[in-house]
């Protein structure tokens, strides 16, 4: 019998790569969306293949219980969130409800459907739960690189909300004996990344300028450093975490950092351009509280999961720029792509 997975956020970048990976392994894959009329569902099916859909909303406890009851999953991957960090300052309450409390609602749905209580612990064939935690929880870092024991100091409403979800997952694991894990994923990108994220903003900007569709790209802080990897590699790590004998949390990243300036320089060079001729610094793109440096220590994932990233930073940026050159040459608008930024 194939395993059955339920993915929240399936129309986003991570959900699409995870769905592809699980389908290739023989899983039956279900996606949770907020309505069957969602236009991104048909686009997702066209690109990903045999994905089944059920309705539910991370803001609605009852809908999540109904979805878990209907699907009867072996594994639940909670990737749904308000995932764009700058938006979390504009909509902090919604970010908290979806990205923080939404985790608790999904865990509670699993607990209720499974009949788990303080006096009734789960059996061996219980539903396994994965929570998408984030390196943004580290924020103002206290040590570099960051590992599973590094204290959190989030610097955005998004980071605060992710910290709540992370600790809630830990609490359900310790309180009820549930197989619940968090993957603390560092920045992971791809051609499917939303156009508002800095990596995709840069690759699209370079492609637009190369094709004569724009003359400049406006950016904020070029000195921030991030540990950037390929989203498809990180999807493999999610599944490996739920395949372990015991539930544990893992940091996932490359262990290397590049600055936004280095990202811009390489992307523009890939497009045959000199970035200094086109990039304009704009203070409005600066965060209220900046996170200057994030760098993963993935030693535990390497040793216990056998996980290693396959795509290098240079290969990732090249992949994104070349994809956006093709996209814009075909006159497809980024907002018409199948992987929606609204994926909770």
Which tens digit of pLDDT belongs to each residue from 15-56?
Answer: 999 999 999 999 999 999 987 667 677 777 777 878 999 999
Convert 128-150 into a string of H (helix), E (strand) and C (coil): EEEEEEEHHHCCCCCCCCECCCC
Percent of the chain with pLDDT over 90: 80
pLDDT for position 36: 64
Identify the CATH assignment for 195-226+256-292+311-336 out of 3.40.50.850, 3.90.25.10, 2.130.10.10, 1.20.1630.10.
Answer: 3.90.25.10
CA distance 19 to 276: 39
- Per-residue pLDDT band at 87 (split at 50, 70, 90): confident
Residue 189 pLDDT > 90: yes
pLDDT for position 266: 97
The structure tokens listed for 130 are 């994965």
CA distance 250 to 261: 29
Identify which has the larger pLDDT, 217 or 332: 217
Among candidate residues 83, 135, 156, 163, the one labeled active-site is: 163
The structure tokens listed for 245 are 């004998």
For the chain, the domains span 4-188+228-252, 195-226+256-292+311-336
Mean pLDDT of all residues in 96-107: 97
CA distance 184 to 244: 16
> Positive or negative CA dihedral for 254, 257, 259, 263?
negative
Residue 245 pLDDT > 80: yes
Percent of the chain with pLDDT over 70: 95
| Bridge partners of residue 252, in order along the sequence | 185
Contact 51, 45 (CB under 8 A): yes
Contact 281, 261 (CB under 8 A): no
Residue 284 pLDDT > 90: no
Helix orientation angle between 313-329 and 260-270, rounded to the nearest 10 degrees: 50
Catalytic residue list contains 190: no
Mean pLDDT of all residues in 245-255: 97
Superfamily per CATH, domain 4-188+228-252: NAD(P)-binding Rossmann-like Domain (3.40.50.720)
Give the DSSP H or E segment for 76.
Answer: strand 75-78
CA distance 148 to 156: 20
On the question of a common fold for 4-188+228-252 and 195-226+256-292+311-336, the answer reads no
Give the DSSP H or E segment for 5.
Answer: strand 4-8
């Amino acid at each position: 019998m194939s395993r059955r997975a339920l993915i929240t956020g399936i129309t986003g970048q991570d959900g699409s790569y995870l769905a592809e990976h699980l389908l290739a392994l023989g899983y039956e894959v279900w996606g949770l969306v907020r309505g069957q009329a969602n236009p991104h569902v048909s686009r997702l099916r066209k690109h990903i293949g045999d994905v089944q859909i059920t309705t539910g909303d991370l803001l609605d406890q009852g809908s999540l219980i109904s979805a878990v009851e209907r699907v009867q999953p072996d594994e639940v991957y909670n990737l749904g969130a308000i995932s764009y960090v700058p938006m979390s300052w504009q909509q902090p309450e919604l970010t908290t409800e979806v990205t923080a409390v939404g985790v608790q609602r999904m865990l509670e749905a699993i607990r209720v459907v499974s009949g788990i209580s303080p006096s009734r612990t789960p059996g061996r064939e219980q539903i396994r739960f994965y929570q998408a935690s984030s390196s943004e929880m580290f924020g103002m870092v206290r040590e570099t690189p960051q590992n599973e024991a590094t204290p959190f100091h989030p610097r955005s409403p998004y980071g605060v909300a992710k910290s709540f979800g992370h600790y809630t997952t830990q609490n359900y694991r310790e309180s009820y004996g549930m197989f619940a894990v968090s993957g603390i994923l560092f920045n992971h990108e791809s051609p499917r990344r939303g156009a508002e994220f800095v990596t995709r903003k840069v690759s699209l900007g370079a492609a637009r300028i190369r094709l004569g569709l724009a003359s400049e790209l406006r950016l904020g802080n070029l000195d921030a450093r991030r540990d950037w990897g390929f989203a498809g590699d990180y999807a493999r790590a999610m599944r490996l975490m739920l395949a372990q004998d015991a539930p544990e949390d893992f940091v996932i990243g490359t262990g290397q950092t590049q600055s936004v300036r280095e990202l811009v320089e390489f992307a523009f060079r890939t497009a045959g351009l000199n970035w200094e001729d086109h990039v304009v610094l704009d203070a409005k793109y600066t965060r209220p509280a900046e996170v200057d440096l994030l760098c993963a220590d993935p030693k535990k994932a390497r040793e216990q999961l056998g996980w290693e990233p396959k795509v290098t930073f240079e290969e990732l940026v090249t992949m994104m720029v070349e994809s956006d050159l093709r996209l814009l040459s075909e006159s497809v608008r980024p907002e018409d792509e199948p992987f929606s930024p609204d994926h909770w």
